[in-house]
Amino acid sequence: MFANLSSEALKARFAQAKVLVVGDVMLDRYWFGDVARISPEAPVPVAKISQIDQRAGGAANVARNIASLGGKAGLLSVTGKDEAADALDKLMAQDGVAAYLMRDAEIATTVKLRVVARNQQLIRLDFEELPHYEVLEQVKAQYRAILPDYDVVIFSDYGKGGLTHIADMIDWAKHAGKAVLVDPKGSDYEKYAGATLITPNRAELKEVIGSWKSETELADKAQSLRRHLDLHAILLTRSEEGMTLFGDGEPLHQPTRAQEVYDVSGAGDTVIACMGLGLAVGFAPSEAMHLANTAAGVVVAKVGTAVCSFEELGKALAEQ
């Protein structure tokens, strides 16, 4: 599909793309260690921690993927006013992302702490609170101020409360002539009405349209939802089954790239980042889907929330 476009030309096009990511951010923390005994205090393993790692997750991981592929990424979100927010700010600066983190002094930044031993999670501890009205109003004001600086808007909804006003934000972006992509959450898709594209996975779509027994039934239900919400397209990510694009014509399907899968966490972030980049530089949704499918194949071979670099994408495209 990209045979007539050199790697240098693709990289130059990506460098012109300006994508704003709005949504719920989190700090993914990993404590790696080993387990050699059971605690005398309770029947639980004792993990001796030898390494600590932290990565930007949620909407921040979408922004990381855009920057890693060579695009210009902005990130607008709510955090607490704490050490975890400082860590996120620093990570975004390292990745070359312009971060607009609205700090709510009354909440804690969302943190997911995973204790890992011998490549197995022992436990995950979540710290999260809903942002307050005053900070969400600041988010709206900041969004309207920076919207003219970007070509495409991606909403990354993780259900943490940062996108309370997403319906208004979609309207403002549409009136400004921007493409709008949404990684959805929950069963209420009415708030995403008017978006250009949504990217649910199988479980998320099933929660909205119900189950399906055939590809024909799936297509009928997906197209009905698309028309009801006035969407240009729905990109259904299907894990080992690849992905399917439901637009104006016949559904377009791409099988997954055959390889060993280590971790699917964060793959959805990579998919929507590539779709946003592709649309920002003028690719058709089907072409952007090809890029997204290829990049997702790269990140699922990595552990944890990971990104696809432009070099990795270029190599994977060349191998097809």
Per-residue pLDDT tens over the stretch 222-240: 999 999 999 999 999 988 7
pLDDT band, very low/low/confident/very high, at 247 (cuts 50, 70, 90): very high
Mean pLDDT score of the chain, rounded to an integer?
92
Q: What is the mean pLDDT of residues 202-206?
A: 94
pLDDT band, very low/low/confident/very high, at 316 (cuts 50, 70, 90): confident
**Rounded Cα distance, 120 and 212, in Å:** 33
What pLDDT, on the 0 to 100 scale, is given for residue 259?
Answer: 59
What pLDDT, on the 0 to 100 scale, is given for residue 29?
Answer: 95
**Rounded Cα distance, 10 and 137, in Å:** 38
DSSP category for residue 95: T
What pLDDT, on the 0 to 100 scale, is given for residue 62?
Answer: 95
What pLDDT, on the 0 to 100 scale, is given for residue 309?
Answer: 87
SS (H, E, C) 195-215: CCEECCEHHHHHHHHCCCCCH
Q: Which residue carries 């991606």 as its tokens?
A: 154
What pLDDT, on the 0 to 100 scale, is given for residue 301?
Answer: 72
| Structure token pair of residue 311 | 């070099």
Q: Is the pLDDT of residue 53 over 60?
A: yes
pLDDT band, very low/low/confident/very high, at 149 (cuts 50, 70, 90): very high
Catalytic residues: 269
What pLDDT, on the 0 to 100 scale, is given for residue 318?
Answer: 85
pLDDT tens across 73-112, in order? 999 999 999 999 999 999 999 999 999 999 999 999 999 9
pLDDT band, very low/low/confident/very high, at 50 (cuts 50, 70, 90): very high
pLDDT tens across 1-15, in order? 555 678 889 999 999
Q: Kindly write down the DSSP assignment for every residue of 291-309, as one continuous string.
A: HHHHHHHHHTTSSSS----
Collect contacts of 2-7 with beta carbons under 8 A, ≥24 apart.
2/287, 2/290, 2/317, 7/314, 7/317, 7/318
β-strand partners of 112:
28, 126
Q: Is the pLDDT of residue 122 over 90?
A: yes
Q: Is the pLDDT of residue 241 over 90?
A: no
Q: What is the mean pLDDT of residues 32-60?
A: 95
Sheet with 197-198: strands ordered across: 98-104, 72-80, 18-23, 152-156, 179-183, 197-198, 233-237, 243-246, 252-254
